[in-house]
Structure 1
Amino acid sequence: MSRRPVLCLGAGRMGRGIAHAMAHGGHDVRLLDMKPREPADFRRLHDEALTEIGRSLAMVADLGGFDPALVGGILGRVSIHPLDQAEAAFTGAELIFEAVPETRDAKAAAFALADRHAGGDAILASTTSTMLATELAGLTALPGRTLNAHWLNPAFLVPLVEISPNEQTDPDILARLERILEQLGKVPVRCKASPGYIVPRIQALAMNEAARLVEEGVASAEDVDRAVKYGFGLRFGVLGLLEFIDWGGGDILYHASRYMAQATGDQRFAAPAIVNDKMERGQIGLRTGQGFFDYSDRDIDAYRRERLGAFLAAVRNAGLWNQPVTSADEPRRSPPEQ
């Protein structure tokens, strides 16, 4: 199946990461430099961008991601274009990623350029991590084709892309973007236009709490991160946060939240209303057949076995699984280094 070109407005770090991912997925990718430059300056940018993308491709190949012999062919799908060749760069592009600096003026200029040159069915996807799709819709004459597609760095490795439409986004545009991303092996998730989207909102709380633990002398930075890597991270790499609530029982979170809020005197630990409401209704997860998810028609034993198998695989992959000790003289594995 032939694939139409992809255009990135901006040849910086995000544009290069997306170019890597899209070229790896079989697309011809054009990076449009959004700054007017003298020919010599553009040539330096051109060479720098291709070198960086080539190095990231080679690194993934060297790590076992694919045959290193393919690097040159993949990199050959990426081209860099100066701003004065914008019209040609837009020609035929099905998907246009806006990847300019996080300022309103830069976004407005990028969308104005897209308004002039984008094809009639092109998808206009911002990669902004700070502005909302509803705000961006006001910067373009094409709000029905505009939405946010928030990639997580490194864009060429992390599967997740958070997609946030505005109120005028055409459902077909949303569905097309999801299909293109899924063909790359990405995992698109939808969210409303809300500050922080999903992952940045959750991780901001987690990172700040980790910093507070060090600030308060509760644990060293090394031990906080060991706890995250070998406890928090392993568990939530298998079970999502809401699935984990259901797995253990929403009642546990309910009581733990009450204790933490009372013990610390800080309402940041208080449970949200939805947890309290589910507690009152007896919808606490696996034990009741209903929580954040519906388990009424699920084979619970098979579900538990599958998830525990994934846990075991994660522990083994981390190099932390020990076979049963059959002799008191057997050496035991040392804990991992930080």
Structure 2
Amino acid sequence: MAARETIAAVGAGRMGRGMAVAFAYSGHPVRLIDAKPRPMDEFDRLKAEIRAELGSTFVLMADVGLMQASEADAMLARVEVVGHDDLAAALAGVPFVFEGVPETLEAKREVFERLSRHADADAVIASTTSTILSNDLQGFVTPPDRFLNAHWLNPAYLVPLVEVSPGDATDPAVTARLLDLLERIGKVPVTCAVSPGYIVPRIQALAMNEAARLVEEGVASSADIDKATKYGFGFRFAVLGLLEFIDWGGGDILYHASRYMTRATGQNRFAAPDIIETNMAEGRRGLRDGRGFLDYDGLDVAAYQRERIGAFAAMLRHLDKMPVKGD
């Protein structure tokens, strides 16, 4: 088996540590680099804290069946914690560098200038920012075509999704290299345009704010709202994607529901986007039309529905919420 690439994670906070676990679990040597200059005694304490936390994480992963307990020491040994002053040496020969410093342009600019000077000329440099657009960071990297955003969701070692957002100047080959790396460690990368909130945070912000409004308006208790999202909203969307769900029930349902909710609440935030009305006009209501947001041409609909219902049943068993069966 070919040796796995060494990965550098610059910034030893929550995201850096999460990525270190993810890559070490998949067999990659990792250099977790402290981005903050600090006295040696303070760094030694930090290093001990990091190694203790990573060790505990591997033990926890073994406890929940993701690995054997006997593998924890070997995985921890793949992670080298490196001090700020040793960054240049730590980047030598590293083909992928992930930045995870605080979410300010000043902090990003400083670390990217250092990475540009010391990383290998062909190294991919990726930010893990959850807020700043790749185009706003790309100018800090030399050359800018090797830079892009890779937004991991916490906990990074568990959540499969990584949102990859190339900047306008990103070389497509760089994007392809990063997607390949992520897929090889079992992640599910998606590519999105330079847009605030990427995909998940944008959808998530709307859902979380609406849940908070339900509490504010006294519609239901916090406990019942969370129960509704876990066993209704989350349950369905763990099996069907949001757009797939629209197609499953029919875009006309969303069209009419949106019109009613907008009138009943007087809030334009419930109005459907133009694409819903366009799909209605073009006969793209979803599964029963053979097309919607997705194309179902040639699909064995009965087999598809059976597979999805089977996945719902598996979720019910996982949640221990199987329907009560009578005698």
TM-score (structure 2 length as normaliser):
0.98
SS, match of residue 315 in structure 1: helix
Retained in 2: the 8 A contact 1:144–1:168?
Answer: yes
SS, match of residue 287 in structure 2: coil
Retained in 2: the 8 A contact 1:19–1:29?
Answer: yes
The residue number in structure 1 matching 2:24 is: 23
Return the offset for 1:272: 0.3
Where does structure 2 lack aligned partners over 5 or more consecutive residues? Answer: none
The residue number in structure 2 matching 1:46 is: 47
The residue number in structure 1 matching 2:142 is: 141
For 1:47-62, what aligned pairs fall within 5 Å after superposition?
47-62=48-63
In structure 2, what residue type is equivalent to 1:193? V
Retained in 2: the 8 A contact 1:4–1:92?
Answer: no
The residue number in structure 1 matching 2:256 is: 255
Q: Give aligned pairs, total.
A: 326
Return the offset for 1:36: 1.2
SS, match of residue 246 in structure 1: helix
The residue number in structure 2 matching 1:274 is: 275
2:157 matched to 1:153?
no
Return the offset for 1:108: 0.5
Task: State percent identity of aligned pairs.
Answer: 56
For 1:101-180, what aligned pairs fall within 5 Å after superposition?
101-180=102-181
The residue number in structure 2 matching 1:208 is: 209
Cα deviation 1:256-306 (Å, max 9, x = unaligned) = 000000000000000000011101111100111110001111111110000
In structure 2, what residue type is equivalent to 1:192? A
The residue number in structure 2 matching 1:229 is: 230
Give the Cα separation in 2 of the matches to 1:214 and 1:35.
41
In structure 1, what residue type is equivalent to 2:238? G
Where does structure 1 lack aligned partners over 5 or more consecutive residues? Answer: 327-338
Return the offset for 1:322: 3.5
Retained in 2: the 8 A contact 1:143–1:168?
Answer: yes
Give the Cα separation in 1 of the matches to 2:10 and 2:318.
38
In structure 2, what residue type is equivalent to 1:235? R
**Further displaced range: 147-156 or 55-64:** 55-64
The residue number in structure 2 matching 1:336 is: none
Give the Cα separation in 2 of the matches to 1:36 and 1:213.
45
In structure 2, what residue type is equivalent to 1:35? K
Give the Cα separation in 2 of the matches to 1:66 and 1:34.
30
Return the offset for 1:324: 2.7
Cα deviation 1:88-122 (Å, max 9, x = unaligned) = 11011111000000011110011101111111221
SS, match of residue 8 in structure 1: strand
2:286 matched to 1:312?
no
Cα deviation 1:117-172 (Å, max 9, x = unaligned) = 11122110100011101111111122111000000000010000000000111111
SS, match of residue 138 in structure 2: helix
Retained in 2: the 8 A contact 1:32–1:86?
Answer: yes
Give the Cα separation in 2 of the matches to 1:105 and 1:235.
41
Query: Post-superposition, which runs of at least 4 consecutive aligned residues in structure 1 deviate over 2 A?
Result: none
TM-align CA RMSD: 0.8
Give the Cα separation in 2 of the matches to 1:114 and 1:142.
11
Retained in 2: the 8 A contact 1:283–1:291?
Answer: yes
In structure 2, what residue type is equivalent to 1:241? L
Give the Cα separation in 1 of the matches to 2:141 and 2:177.
20
